[in-house]
Amino acid sequence: MEKEQKKFRVESDLLGELQVPATAYYGVQTQRGINNYQISNSKMSDYPDFVIAIAYVKEAAALANAEVGALEPQIAEAIAKSCEEIIAGQWHDHFPIDMMQGGAGTSVNMNANEVIANRALELMGHERGDYAHCSPNDHVNCGQSTNDAYPTAIRYAIIRMNKTLVASLQQLIAAFRAKGNELRDVVKMGRTQLQDAVPMTSGQEFNAFANNLEEEVANLGRNVVLLHEINMGGTAIGTGLNAAPGYADLCTAHLSELTGERFEKASDMIEATPDTGAYVSYSAALKRLAVKLSKICNDLRLMASGPRCGLHEINLPPMAPGSSIMPGKVNPVIPEVTNQVCFKVIGNDTAVCFAAEAGQLQLNVMEPVITECLFESITWLTHAMDTLREKCVQGITVNASHTLDMVKNSIGIVTALNPYIGYKNSTKIAKEALATGKSLEEVALEKQLLTKEQLDEILDPKNMLRVHSFKR
């Protein structure tokens, strides 16, 4: 029994007493969260940016409360020091709360309050759990509610994670652009509706991929700005009950100074407390990126189809044997996994929208699922883009002679004849070439519509790649 007592300490809350591991910095409410929520297998500690974000929020609150006289300087200093240790990467394993939970995030908030309080107690020379000297509720959570501290931490965590996401996106863009430069002289057939269209270069195609994704850097930037409006000081429903005068402004200022971000206090705290509009907008930006990325992966898979019975325009780096029954088959596994990540992000966006709509009166209690979806989408997209760049895009090669032959044998290049002989005559040539198997040049010469010299110049694929002057 004595040995058991050393392994645990007893803490109490509204529901009664509960054993907490003696070595844990978290306390009774975190332990109840552990016991209650074993849902997703995704823990708060799996997202270091989230743990760091809430530590910044708690530090800013402690500094503001000390300034307004709501916290004794010694206690505020110990809380701030505890937060700084967490920000530096310590004690993250003491944040075991499942990301999926009821209670509108209270378990997350109390997990942070308890860890910070117990570490502050140690720094002041007291035992863990001796909350008379530094309480999770009375001191660490002073002037706060889950309903302002939790969403503020979520917003800052997303801001941090977005920087990592954008860095990966920019690296992928650079890889596509480098491939575009490498393939700038490789002529291929462009296609619309999977049918031959007009010639282009592989370089133009890969540069288009890069430019298409470049737009998303700005779009993510526009939407992440919305997350800088916070409701710290609003406490439970936005009225500011239990927060000292001046605290809200000071807390916002301290958070801005500590993080280097330009946070703004919401102009209407009652409006801001249940509002999840910024999450909806940012989730939509993630979805837009996912849609574009998935389309590009579709194109890579199509262009790599074959090797003998498909388009066979490009070769993707072989990453794994492709079949348990078909020897020699190599599948486009990297674009495939990227596609699936994109589908997940699109689905997560739907969940975010439903959860945002489910808010009632002065609070949206569905923020945990919004948070889990957004964190998952950011993380999966970041990893997928890194994987696509490293294991696919950088190693792509092109079958240049094959793509040029496809252009020369295509009916699509008849479009280049339109300015010289008209759409109707060009249609007749295309139709006869398809029916007889003859080349466009042969048919045009037989009909004496153009000379061979004219046809050689007009049907030179390199003359079809950009705007140019022509003479009828």
| Pairing between β-strand 16-21 and β-strand 8-13 as defined by DSSP bridges | antiparallel
Burial class (CB in 10 A: 0-12, 13-18, 19+), 472: exposed
Cβ contact 33:98 at 8 Å: yes
* Active-site position among 323, 377, 401, 410: 323
Burial class (CB in 10 A: 0-12, 13-18, 19+), 436: exposed
CA distances from 399 to 189, 202, 446, 464 (A): 12, 10, 33, 20
Strand partners, 43: 98
Closest CA to 12 of 153, 150, 131: 131
Q: Give the tokens for residue 187.
A: 């002529």
Cβ contact 187:461 at 8 Å: yes
Closest CA to 181 of 156, 157, 213, 204: 204
Verify whether residue 324 is a known catalytic residue: no
Q: Give the tokens for residue 421.
A: 């002989």
Rounded Cα gap, residues 410 and 459, in angstroms: 11
Helix, strand, coil share of the chain (percent; to 5): 60, 10, 30
Could you write out the DSSP letters of every residue in 239-283? S-TTPPTTHHHHHHHHHHHHHS---EE-S-HHHHTT--HHHHHHH
CA distances from 443 to 405, 406, 414, 447 (A): 19, 18, 11, 6
Closest CA to 231 of 156, 285, 161, 140: 156
What are the catalytic residues? 323
